[in-house]
Chains A and B, each alone.
Chain A
Amino acid sequence: MSGITVEQRGKSRNREGGLQEIARIWRQGDAATRTSFLVMGFGCLKRKQYIKGLLFLAAQVLFLLYMAGFAWPYLSKVNTLGTEAMRREWSEARQIFVRTPGDNSMLILLFSVMSLLLAIAFIMLWRANLRACYKAQVNEEKGLKQPGFMEDVKTLLDEKYHVSLLTLPSLMVVAFTVLPIIFMILIAFTNFDADHQPPGKLFGWVGLQNFTDVFWSDPLKAGTFGKILGWTMVWAVFATFTNYLFGMIVALMINKKGVRLKKMWRTIFVITIAVPQFVSLMLMSQILHDQGPLNMLLKKWGFISQNIPFLTNATYARITVIIVNIWVGIPYTMLITSGILMNIPADLYESASIDGASPARMFFSITLPYMLFVTTPYLITAFVGNINNFNVIFLLTKGGPLVTDYYQAGKTDLLVTWLYKLTVDKQNYSLASTIGIFVFLICASLSLVVYNLSGSSRKEEEFQ
């Protein structure tokens, strides 16, 4: 085989898919390479790359042992998620309750997902094994020296540096983000709730039951979902735009020509974001409490005789959370818009003021359109952030006031706080996961819009 054809083969490889590559290796591989399809590392071993070959072989043996020994008992039951619950029976002979261990649906599902991820990793390793064995074969055919193990390791610091850098982070992300998310997505198709808590009571697959429940078939859940979704959207719109508008006005005031001590004003506002939210918001909830300082002051001044239920009356509470969110949010918007506001061409304002435009007119005709144009991506990001704004709601009202026509939720609950309550307090995991998937769909579609608007994906290479 001449050098040119090898070269061409290398080029064509860029265009072929994973399966095509495997098929080609099968076609062009010799007996040793083909054996590597079944016995990993065989080709490497035959061509005296002992360490590499043994590592592949060891990985295969370990994986098979894991699958047969540990994972199989779980994997075999994944279609039912277990049939035998743990039993406690009175044993006459021993005069005690005897526990008969049974299946545990949660563990079956968890370990099955884990095994699935491991299997994917194994398939990738298997493909790497094929490539390595085939490369060894090609090297031998061309009469090249086979790279030693140390040389292979060295490529990990150069050509394959991405492998070394990404291994640890990928493991972490897979373990603590990917695995949990897949697990919880699957939970949305089960009946894992307070009445089905393994090992005492098993849960099983229910198909799309949770989705139909939440969207139409269960009046209470569907009603709650609709109302909470509505309030979440109202909240997100108000929270986003009030903050945006007022934050920009504050930024304009601080940045105005002739205003001194700019840095001091900015720092004062920044302090309130810097204080951890659980401190500042819990403080706010205390201040706004029925017997809190604000009511106390209003009473003292004789403006009111009854305490105002800022956080315990549905309408008041909804207004209060929006207002407190302004208090929380203005500094953020101020920080973010300050820089952009200074980029607005000054001659726009100059010609406007020569034409006799009032400051308000200038704000609505120049500043706002310009800012809206530049910061649309930020606005959508902020909107998504507000849909998921857990802290403000949870720390101020805990979602309350609770009402009976809501399914385990209160009048100020957002979808995420409802989700939190369902998981942590009510252990209704399947419903929570269903809502989580829905929130994901909203956020993902909005983010997709941002991604296309900002075009940062396209501009990525331009910087360099």
Chain B
Amino acid sequence: MKKKQTLRLNLVSLAMIATLLMAASLLLPWLNTLQMEGQKSYSAVQLLSASFLKLLPLVIAAAASAAVAILAVLRPRKGLLIVLAAALAASVLAGVYALLTAKETADATGLLAQPFMVRDLSLGIWVFLGLAIVALFLTLSAMREPTEYIILTVMASVWLLPIIWLVLTAFRQEPGAYTTYLLPKNYTADNFTRLFTETSQFNFPRWYMNTLVVAIFTCALTTIMVLMISYTFSRLRFPARKALMNIGLILGMFPGFMSMIAVYHILKAIGLAKSLISLVLVYSGGGAMGYFVAKGFFDTIPRSLDEAATIDGASRNTVFWKIILPSSQPIIVYTAITAFIAPWVDFIFVSVIMKDDYQNYTVALGLYRMLEREHIYEYFTRFCAGAVLVAIPITLLFIKIQKFYVEGVTGGAVKG
């Protein structure tokens, strides 16, 4: 008895009504065609029978939802409502799939007047989807579960769909950038193998190695420099300290693109233009300016620790190596990973420094070039494959450091 009271019975009946309406809405496309049959060259019966198999999952999910909904009204139990929610979720999935394949479904019927049919079909499914979501919303409310799940799921799919599309396209067999369908017709791993074997124009393996080498050296150099700078500014007191920190702050506010050309000419003057070393230097020089996250971290290490050591006769060098560094592992990891990521995602500086020297490109610039007008048709699927190969390691690394990332963005101005 008590369990029943936790359900909202009036909402259960509302949910049933919505579910029944949803199931009924499946008939909309055919109703529509019946009315206007005179103008169109297909009949409802024809359409129904021809596309019935394709739409079977949708029909089954809708029928199941309706049945469970009626049962739930007759015998309100939490278990039944959970089943109802699952059935409704399945209906939504089936609906989305039907929407994506609406054109194929219409094609498969072999009937004429497809544009009308597709529009009728998809309009019906949109109504179906809307009602399904309303029913799901009511069901969750009846169960006293957060309805946020629905919004979050919808949003999560909006956020993930482009990425899923990227992965699917990476495995697409048909070439070309723009297709008239969303899901690939045939899947293949060719895009990946050709990326590594056909290197005459776009030397992807070489770029990947370039980026890896640059990333490793940048990572080492930046980490060392950032640790040195942040320890100095956090712990050592000397006359020019404040002035230097302010200069650093001001320099950071100039738009980086402004000085790109000058950097190029400086590198040219010292004979390093178009070389990987110059990339390491530029990225580390930029990375060193982002020292304040590490400084903020050092500031939180109790000063009493190094004071005690100083009294015992430790030099500042010893304090740095023996006390500060061992207790700053997380910030070292953060600094190293951010520095490592930089060369993988930058395509601006590298394009200014490398100009047309294809052999010394990094992956980001190489992939960027693949989407230029003259290459996009042939290389789009390979771009997606390459992007997947770059995105996977970067994504994993980023997820690892997301905690510190917050402080990095806010510059420690906001303490969570």
Interface residues of A (CB under 8 A from B): 106-107, 110-111, 157-159, 161-162, 165-166, 168-169, 172-173, 175-181, 183-184, 187, 250, 253-254, 256, 258-259, 265, 267-280, 282-284, 286-287, 289, 291-293, 296-297, 300-302, 327, 330-332, 335-336, 338-340, 343, 374-375, 377-378, 381, 384, 388, 390, 416, 419-420, 423-424, 429, 432-433, 436, 439-440, 443-444, 447, 450-451, 454, 456, 460, 463-464
Contact = CB atoms under 8 A, between A and B. Distances in A.
A436 B387 CA distance: 32
A464 B297 CA distance: 11
B148 A429 contact: no
A165 B357 CA distance: 36
Interface stretch (B198-206, B248-256, B326-334): B248-256
B179 to A, nearest CB: 8
Nearest to B387: A279
Contacts of A277: 345
Contacts of A178: 251
A272 to B, nearest CB: 5
24 contacts: A161-B316, A165-B229, A165-B320, A166-B229, A172-B288, A173-B285, A176-B263, A177-B251, A179-B266, A184-B262, A274-B402, A277-B345, A278-B345, A293-B178, A293-B179, A296-B179, A300-B122, A331-B159, A381-B411, A416-B255, A416-B257, A444-B253, A456-B412, A464-B303
B413 interface: yes
Contacts of A250: 152, 155
Contacts of B390: 276, 279
B289 interface: yes
Nearest to B371: A282
A111 B268 CA distance: 13
B229 A179 contact: no
B79 interface: no
Contact of A169 (B249, B288, B303): B288
B285 A447 contact: no
Contacts of B344: 276
A169 B149 CA distance: 49
A269 B244 CA distance: 38
Interface stretch (B3-11, B14-22, B130-138, B393-401): B393-401
A424 B259 CA distance: 11
Contact of A338 (B103, B249, B380, B416): B416
A180 B345 contact: no
Contacts of A284: 162
Interface string B163-191: 10110000000000111111000000000
B103 A300 contact: yes
A391 B127 CA distance: 38
Nearest to A424: B352
Q: Is the interface of A mostly helix, strand, loop or mixed?
A: helix
Contact of B251 (A173, A265, A374, A450): A173
Interface stretch (B35-43, B50-58, B231-239): B231-239
Given A176-B263, A297-B182, A436-B254, A335 B159 contact: no
A184 B122 contact: no
B29 to A, nearest CB: 11
Dominant SS at the B interface? helix
Contacts of A289: 177-178
Contacts of A432: 258
B286 interface: yes
Contacts of B162: 280, 283-284, 287
A172 B159 contact: no
B406 A339 contact: yes
Given A302-B115, A454-B413, A179 B262 contact: yes
A168 B225 contact: yes
Nearest to B386: A279
A219 B126 CA distance: 52
Interface in B274-319: 281-282, 284-286, 288-289, 299-300, 302-303, 315-317
A280 B163 contact: yes
Contacts of B261: 184, 423-424, 429
Given A166-B229, A440-B253, A464-B303, A268 B258 contact: no
Considering the complex of A and B, which 5 residue pairs feature the smallest CB-CB distances, nearest first?
A339-B416, A302-B119, A436-B258, A180-B259, A176-B285
A273 B398 contact: yes
A282 B365 CA distance: 12
Contacts of A111: 269
Q: Which of A159, A166, A168, A253 has the most CB of B within 10 A?
A: A166
A283 B388 CA distance: 12
A165 B228 contact: yes
B159 A268 contact: yes
B402 A270 contact: yes
B348 interface: yes
B409 interface: yes
A270 B406 contact: no
Contact of A436 (B151, B165, B255): B255
B123 A302 contact: yes
Interface string B125-157: 010000000000000000001101101100110
A260 to B, nearest CB: 8
A253 B151 contact: yes
B74 interface: no
B146 A165 contact: no
Given A172-B284, A184-B261, 20 more contacts: A158-B315, A159-B316, A162-B241, A165-B232, A166-B228, A166-B244, A173-B288, A173-B289, A177-B259, A181-B251, A258-B146, A265-B156, A272-B160, A282-B371, A301-B119, A301-B123, A339-B416, A378-B410, A390-B257, A447-B253
A132 B414 CA distance: 45
Most B C-beta atoms less than 10 A away, residue of A173, A374, A384: A173
B174 to A, nearest CB: 14
Interface string B355-399: 000000000100110010000000010010001001100111111
B414 A375 contact: yes
Nearest to B267: A176
B192 interface: no
B405 interface: yes
Nearest to B227: A165
A280 B345 CA distance: 11
Interface string B76-116: 00000000000000000000000110110000000000010
A175 B257 CA distance: 16
B289 A278 contact: no
Contacts of A436: 254-255, 257-258
B315 A157 contact: yes
Nearest to A296: B180
Contacts of B265: 106, 110
A439 B255 contact: yes
Contacts of B118: 300-302
Contacts of B269: 107, 110-111
